Chain A
Amino acid sequence: MPASVSTVMLRVVYALIPGLAAYIWFFGWGVLINIALAVVVALGCEAAMLKVRDKPLQPFLTDGSAALTAVLLGISIPPLSPWWITLIGTAFAIIVAKQLYGGLGYNTFNPAMVGYVMLLISFPVEMTSWQTPLMLSQHSLSFFDTLRVIFTGALPDGLRMDAITTATTLDTLKTQLKIDRSMAEITSAPIFGYVGGKSVEWISAGFLLGGLWLLYKRIINWHIPAAMIGGLLGMALIFFLIDAERYASPLFHLFSGATLLGAFFIATDPVTAPASVRGRLLYGALIGVLVYIIRAWGGYPDAVAFAVLLMNLATPTIDYHIHSRVFGHGRKK
């Protein structure tokens, strides 16, 4: 029996588990609390909007798409973000980016990324307060401490926010390169791990594992992830070969930030991606190239979200120009 929409969505959520487990292991409970809160908000907003739009609740609430958006957004925002960040971001993603565009299947932009970018632009301080990996931090927060930080902003006695947050590796790289420090100096900082950011590289590996499972289960096709990774690695390799002192290695790019989460879980959102195989290859490759450009020369380090949204914008054009080669039509077109 072929899959239904809800099994597709559910399997994507399952595939997030390895990466998510690593996330919780290295950064504590914050991400899980964010996700739980986001799911509740997303389902609430979805229900309210369906009611307003006079659509049936049951099939659309149980299709899993709102929950998936919430999970992806919950993973994307800093783990110790105050509750209202999650609330505003999720509500915006569901109400504006999804439902106002017509709901499931009709949104032009990836809702989770719209929510993320809206937050990043509106609340830059909260959205760049990334937690220090637990293995580098002298402080660890219990589940209830984390809950209290998120909902009241109150840290345990004697702790300041600065003490438990730090700049990300991508951010560090960007600012340090600006002050002409060498790559070797920069990457010797404790937040750098074997190939990417410390801890972050393991989380990335978890997402890679989940992504490969999705490929195996044929929930996603290889075209977009492969093209996106290829585009990014290609760009990174070119500049790395030109000047390894000023440009990070391809492997660093692969295992830093949201590269692998983006490649397998965000760029692959079919609603906002092109339909044809060649269209998807182009789409994925350009996301990869854009990620590199934004990371290397852009104002924000959060390249994946911007790259995906920019390419969402290009999807209708790609679909307009690139069709598949239909049986019996020869090798042209």
Chain B
Amino acid sequence: MIRRLWKFNGGVHLPDHKGESTRLPVTRARLPKRLILPLHQHIGEAAEAVVKVGDPVLKGQMIAHAKGFVSAPLHAPSSGTVVAIGDLPVPHPSGLNAPCIVIETDGEDRWTELHPHGDYDQLDPSHLRNIIREAGIVGLGGAGFPSFIKLNPGPGKTVDTLILNGVECEPYITCDDMLMRERAQDIIRGLRIMRHALHARACVIAVEDNKPEAYAAMLTATRGTDIEVAQVPTMYPAGGEKQLIKVLTGMEVPSNGLPIHIGIVCHNVGTAVAVYRAIEHGEPLISRHMTISGGNIAQPRNLEVLIGTPVKDLLDECGGDPGTLERLVMGGPMMGFSLPGDDVPVIKTTNCILAMTRDNAPAQRPVMPCIRCGACADACPVNLLPQQLYWHAHAKDLDKVQEYDLFDCIECGCCSYVCPSNIPLVHYYRYAKTEIWAAEREKQKAEQARIRHEFRLQRIDREKAERAAKHAQKKEELTSATTKNEE
């Protein structure tokens, strides 16, 4: 049966630059001398280190445990010694340093003891989730939300469709493409485990129609099963979770809602492989597939990279030329962010490193005033009015931007891409969001201060009253004593 597909508003066709990095098969990247592991690689609370400087570690050993519910532990990607724990540059748009564990590798790559589980279908879903949580698995598509939470439908909710996202709509990035071509069986194994955990009625694997090899591989791997493989039209950002759900089902995830609210759960194909490795091999998440591409790279390709590998090692391995390097980007050209330098490590959510020369990262064309042409609104996959948002963000009118549904913006960058005036629209939206969050924190602080103050006043009043009562009591005792004496 051919699935009926829907369309979302707007979107853009981009030159995909995917051919460059799919020529070579995926191999393991060289073992780096040092691994730098930021404690915060996912959405939620940062992990907490459980090793000290000087501790020897084995490959796969837990080195930081999850702190709180929305969090993920961290494991040593190779054997060696912890040589430092402290603030170092990490890949984050802010460019700030953050706490990291640094491991000097010993070259032996010795595993810790692993506990594989042969028959996942004999395991209780909550047990499965626990193993996945302990394996430190987070969404590998880019957001990095702890996967065990998304594998729990929650009380009273049923999952109709489990979608495996192999769309990979950003230019240059091909790691999911290569994974589907080369590891289709592993993806299906992971998918079955996920399906078991969720009790999902149906499964769909979505592949963009510019990846015919991956599509064919997934078709072969699913032959004879009830798992569907859907080819979706190439259109950025069809790989966005909400956009993909719309394309596949025609349903819109409600604003401020989650896919589970309409009976859908969406995971990345890479995450499925990580889940499979965790359950059937007992391996925690210590490596991932990623793309190294861009005009600066002599041999653009995909590698299986240990988490914590410094970007510089990868550039060297793929023939990056430091002389012509203009800009380093983590992620794709649309939603990625510039790296301050090549000393930052690969983290769990790193799907791509782009090393751009002057030619592929041309100087920003001059920014002109907005002419309200509406090209941005036509391109917006969320149906926002980007120019109005820009106008109010520019004027720092934080109420107005929320009235225009700023928080529905997925920051895909379509508006900035089509803008004839070259306005970096998404920057304004990020700025406005940050300002609003800051204002809200201030408000909460003020509210807390007010409550504290009121409590203090109450306490003072109470103490005063108590003192007065005591005083009165004493006085009474005294007077009664004197009267007694007088008697």
Interface, chain A (partner B; CB < 8 A): 2-5, 7-8, 59-60, 63, 65, 103-106, 221, 270-271, 273, 275-277, 319, 323-330
Contact = CB atoms under 8 A, between A and B. Distances in A.
Given A275-B372, A277-B377, A327-B8, 10 more contacts: A5-B420, A65-B371, A104-B371, A275-B385, A275-B387, A319-B388, A327-B255, A327-B382, A327-B383, A328-B252
Contact of B420 (A3, A319, A324, A328): A3
Contacts of A60: 368
Interface SS of chain B: helix, strand, loop or mixed?
loop
The 5 closest A-B pairs by CB, nearest first: A105-B369, A328-B255, A327-B382, A270-B373, A270-B372
B382 A326 contact: yes
Contacts of A327: 8-9, 242, 246, 252, 255, 381-383, 408
A123 B419 CA distance: 40
Given A8-B420, A328-B254, A270 B408 contact: no
21 contacts: A4-B421, A5-B421, A59-B366, A104-B368, A105-B370, A221-B374, A221-B378, A270-B373, A275-B372, A275-B385, A277-B377, A323-B385, A326-B384, A327-B8, A327-B242, A327-B252, A327-B381, A328-B242, A328-B408, A329-B255, A329-B408
Interface residues of B, number: 39
A4 B365 contact: yes
Nearest to A330: B254
B257 to A, nearest CB: 7
A115 B369 CA distance: 22
B392 to A, nearest CB: 11
A325 B404 CA distance: 10
B253 interface: yes
Contacts of A273: 372
A277 B388 CA distance: 13
B337 interface: no
A319 B374 CA distance: 13
Contacts of B403: 323
Given A2-B418, A59-B366, A327-B9, A105 B255 contact: no
A60 B417 CA distance: 21
B422 interface: yes
Contact of A7 (B253, B418, B420): B420
A5 B373 CA distance: 9
Contacts of A329: 254-255, 405, 408
Contact of B368 (A5, A221, A319, A328): A5
B384 A270 contact: no
Nearest to B405: A326
Nearest to B243: A327
Interface in B106-157: none
Contacts of B247: none
A106 B369 contact: yes
Given A270-B374, A323-B404, A329-B405, A103 B369 contact: yes
Contacts, number: 94
Nearest to B365: A4
Given A328-B253, A328-B255, A276 B377 contact: yes
A277 B420 CA distance: 19
Interface centre among B9, B403, B405, B408 (most CB of A within 10 A): B405
Given A221-B378, A275-B387, A326 B371 contact: no
Interface string B357-370: 00000000110111
B333 to A, nearest CB: 14
A5 B367 CA distance: 10
B358 to A, nearest CB: 17
Nearest to B253: A328
Nearest to B410: A327
Nearest to A3: B420
Interface string B232-244: 0000000000100
Among B8, B255, B368, B417, which residue has the most Cβ atoms of chain A within 10 A? B368
Contacts of A275: 372, 374, 377, 385, 387-388
B136 to A, nearest CB: 31
A246 to B, nearest CB: 40
Contact of B255 (A277, A319, A326): A326
B359 to A, nearest CB: 14
Contacts of A8: 371, 373, 420
B375 interface: yes
Contacts of A330: 254
Contacts of B419: 2
Nearest to A274: B372
Nearest to A315: B372
A104 B255 contact: no
Nearest to A105: B369
Contacts of B254: 328-330
- Residue with the highest number of chain B CB atoms closer than 10 Å, among A270, A275, A330: A275
A96 to B, nearest CB: 18
Nearest to A276: B385
B372 A4 contact: no
Contacts of B378: 221
A327 B256 CA distance: 11
B108 to A, nearest CB: 51
Nearest to B416: A2
A325 B242 CA distance: 16
A277 B380 CA distance: 13
Interface in B378-412: 378, 381-385, 387-388, 403-405, 408
A4 to B, nearest CB: 5
Contacts of A106: 369
A326 B408 CA distance: 8
A63 B370 CA distance: 12
Nearest to A223: B374
Interface in B235-277: 242, 246, 252-257
Nearest to B382: A327
A327 B237 CA distance: 14
A218 to B, nearest CB: 8
Interface string B402-441: 0111001000000001111110000000000000000000
Contacts of A7: 420
Given A2-B417, A59-B366, A275-B377, A325 B383 contact: yes
A327 B250 CA distance: 12
B371 A270 contact: yes
A4 B369 contact: no
A70 B25 CA distance: 59
A271 B242 contact: no
A104 B388 CA distance: 16
Contacts of A319: 388
Contacts of A5: 368, 371, 420-421
A102 B254 CA distance: 40
A8 B403 CA distance: 30
Nearest to B404: A323
Contacts of A3: 375, 420
B391 to A, nearest CB: 9
A2 B371 contact: no
Given A8-B420, A275-B385, A324 B377 contact: yes
B422 A324 contact: no
